[in-house]
Amino acid sequence: MSTFTRRTQRIEYVVVDAGIGIPRTLRQSHPQLTSDAEALGQAIKEGVTRDKTLGQGNGLYGSYRVCSKGEGIFHLQSARAKLVFTRGKGLQVTTEKVPFEGTLIDAQVNFSDPRLLSEALKFGGKVHVPAADYVEMRYENLDTEEVRFLILKEAPSFRSRLGGTPVRYRLQNLAGMYPGQKIIIDFADVPLISSSFADEVFGKLFLEMGPIAFLQRFEFVNFATIVRQLIDRAISQRLSST
């Protein structure tokens, strides 16, 4: 389960696992962890894992670091122990009378600071710098230095307004990330879109950005005639309603 709150600039997610729990899992390779509370305290430390051949022990460590560094909330409960981090009280680990069968994680991440991930995710005392990020790999063409947005890969559906909403958000984000480059919107293998989809994505974008900025930032390629007509109509209707 996840929730997104724009006003407070926070994302919260909850994960529940009905397995054997963290304490029993860690004791398979760390028999010295005699109490469940001690096991949870170790579980959020870098490199602590049941089996190094299966994982590096970065999952809970990274999650906790991102939440605590951004003054969010991190709640971890498993077996007879509970670990909670809050801005006001800091980190607390307690022993619970009633056991929780499995594992529950409730994490709240503050995304107002774009530097948070790089500062929080330190491995071996060093900030992790990936060779290439997700946006570069997905959208950039190193040969032509263009940003190409393949509609076919971005939309779960072309039939509804709901399917267009995430596409509009991604185009807005790309426009902000690449202020000096034109974004190529490629309609290859997309024979038809609905009027609602065209309005949700391009009608709203055109109205929000204005004609000059919209035409400067986006270029359409490989679109069928009917797709172009639907986009033109959506933009015209938006303009006439203002």
pLDDT tens digits, residue range 166-206?
999 999 998 988 888 889 999 999 999 999 999 999 999 99
> What is the average pLDDT value for the chain, to the nearest integer?
87
CA-wise closest residue to 120 among 48, 194, 63: 63
pLDDT at 54: 64
pLDDT surpassing 70 at residue 55: no
What's the pLDDT score for residue 134?
A: 54
Edge to edge, the sheet with strand 73-86 lists: 2-5, 10-17, 90-110, 73-86
The residue written with tokens 């670091």 in the block is 65
Classify strands 146-150 and 183-186 as parallel, antiparallel or unpaired: parallel
Give me the residue spans of the domains in the chain. Answer: 2-127, 134-240
Task: Tally the C-alpha atoms within 13 A of residue 216's C-alpha that lie toward its C-beta.
Answer: 10
**Which two three-digit tokens encode residue 63?**
């999650």
- pLDDT tens digits for range 110-131: 888 877 877 787 766 666 555 4
Beta bridge partners of 101: none
What percent of the chain lies above the pLDDT cut of 90?
58
